[in-house]
């Protein structure tokens, strides 16, 4: 009998741009004490107590700008703010004949190299053209993790505008084994990133809590005091010093939403052309117009965050042997590196 695994936040983080229902409730002065989960269930349309409790645990509900527990009893004049992720439209995935770049395949799993611009699974505003639509067309009977129906084969994801490797489960054995390895943080994941500025140390570790921004739930932010969020650890190594930018290698010890992007911003080196985290403007360099035009031309070469999932290593679910897969940097990534090297040579 297969083991069911509670993967929590590390499994299939939500897509960027997911629609939220926003509510703000000021508790009446005559309101008697009552659990907040019951209070909200009675007042919010088309919702269930379980959905409210999940939202509270995920800190989508705040009372007087602070997170609370489901058993919190409300008081008169409490100000309750609620952001509920919209439930999936349905779990039916329409198969689409979209080509896949398959790096490896056997009877248990496959490894694909996802291009930048492809969403991993259907979500609000992206119901078609996703990796899952393609997988459903090319492969039948892919397993689904409980609680993540409509996402066959998936055990992890990367952002729409991040390129690189993902492993897909073809059997229940592979699904459970890989999911457990991700949950245990034993999967080896290496990313290449082009960041603004040159880190003072060639090697380093960012060990700072990350969580949803209290101002914008679509953004991940650092909480250095550890008062919010969850533990997140990123190891980085500089591969190329390009004066105003640097090519770095990042190894993930944990797998939080936007971990590398948020950690690099926190240490003052946002990823090149990362609009969400401040990398889509001139962060380092001169004030001359010629330089600004050069940077704009670089942005046009790689019109997305310069982040690539370079390698993936794990214990094969069937053979129990360690396997590792590599991918080349895509053309937009190598082109912008070449352009920076050329600029430094003649300036």
How many CB atoms lie under 10 A from the CB of residue 154?
26
Beta carbons of 160 and 118 less than 8 angstroms apart: yes
- 74: nearest Cα among 28, 116, 123: 28
Return d(Cα 189, Cα 232) in angstroms, integer.
14
SS3 at position 6? coil
| CA–CA distances in Å: residue 160 to residues 163, 180, 212, 258 | 8, 24, 18, 11
Question: Greatest CA span in the chain, whole angstroms?
Answer: 73
42 carries an active-site annotation? no
C-alpha Rg value of the chain to the nearest Å: 22
Give the span between the Cα atoms of 131 and 120, in whole angstroms: 5
Q: Which of 37, 78, 159, 161 is catalytic?
A: 159
Q: Which of 189, 269, 262, 260 is nearest to 228 (CA)?
A: 262
Instruction: Please check whether residue 255 is in contact with residue 239, taking contact to mean a CB–CB distance below 8 angstroms.
Output: no
Q: Across-strand partners of 190?
A: 251, 311
Cα-based angle 257, 142, 20 (whole degrees, multiple of 5): 35
CA distance 168 to 175: 8
Active site residues: 159
């Amino acid at each position: 009998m297969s083991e069911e695994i509670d993967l929590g936040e590390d499994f299939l983080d939500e897509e960027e741009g997911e629609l939220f229902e926003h509510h703000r409730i000021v508790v009446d002065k005559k309101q008697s004490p009552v659990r907040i989960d019951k209070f909200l269930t009675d007042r919010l349309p088309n919702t269930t107590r379980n959905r409210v409790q999940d939202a509270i645990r995920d800190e989508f509900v705040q009372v007087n700008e602070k997170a609370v527990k489901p058993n919190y009893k409300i008081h008169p004049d409490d100000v309750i703010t609620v952001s509920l992720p919209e439930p999936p439209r349905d779990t039916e995935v329409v198969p689409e004949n979209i080509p896949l770049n398959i790096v490896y395949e056997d009877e248990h799993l496959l490894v694909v190299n996802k291009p930048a611009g492809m969403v991993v699974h259907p979500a609000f505003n992206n119901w078609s053209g996703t990796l899952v639509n393609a997988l459903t067309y090319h492969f039948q009977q892919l397993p689904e993790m409980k609680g993540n129906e409509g996402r066959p084969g998936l055990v992890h994801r990367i952002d729409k505008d991040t390129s690189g490797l993902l492993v897909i489960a073809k059997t229940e054995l592979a699904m459970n084994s890989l999911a457990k390895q991700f949950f245990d943080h034993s999967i080896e994941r290496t990313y290449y990133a082009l960041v603004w500025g040159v880190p003072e140390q060639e090697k380093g570790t960012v060990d700072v809590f990350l969580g949803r921004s209290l101002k914008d739930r679509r953004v991940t932010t650092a909480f250095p005091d550890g008062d919010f969020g969850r533990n997140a650890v990123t190891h980085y190594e500089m591969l190329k010093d390009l004066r105003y930018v640097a090519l770095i290698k990042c190894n993930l010890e944990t797998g939080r939403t936007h971990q590398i992007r948020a950690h690099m911003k926190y240490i003052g080196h946002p990823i090149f052309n990362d609009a969400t985290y401040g990398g889509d403007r001139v962060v380092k360099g001169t004030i001359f117009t010629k330089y600004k035009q050069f940077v704009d031309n670089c942005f046009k070469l790689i019109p997305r965050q310069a982040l690539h999932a370079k390698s993936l290593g794990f214990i094969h679910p069937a053979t129990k042997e360690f396997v590792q897969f590599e991918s080349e940097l895509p053309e937009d990534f190598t082109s912008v590196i070449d352009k920076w090297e050329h600029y430094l040579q003649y300036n």
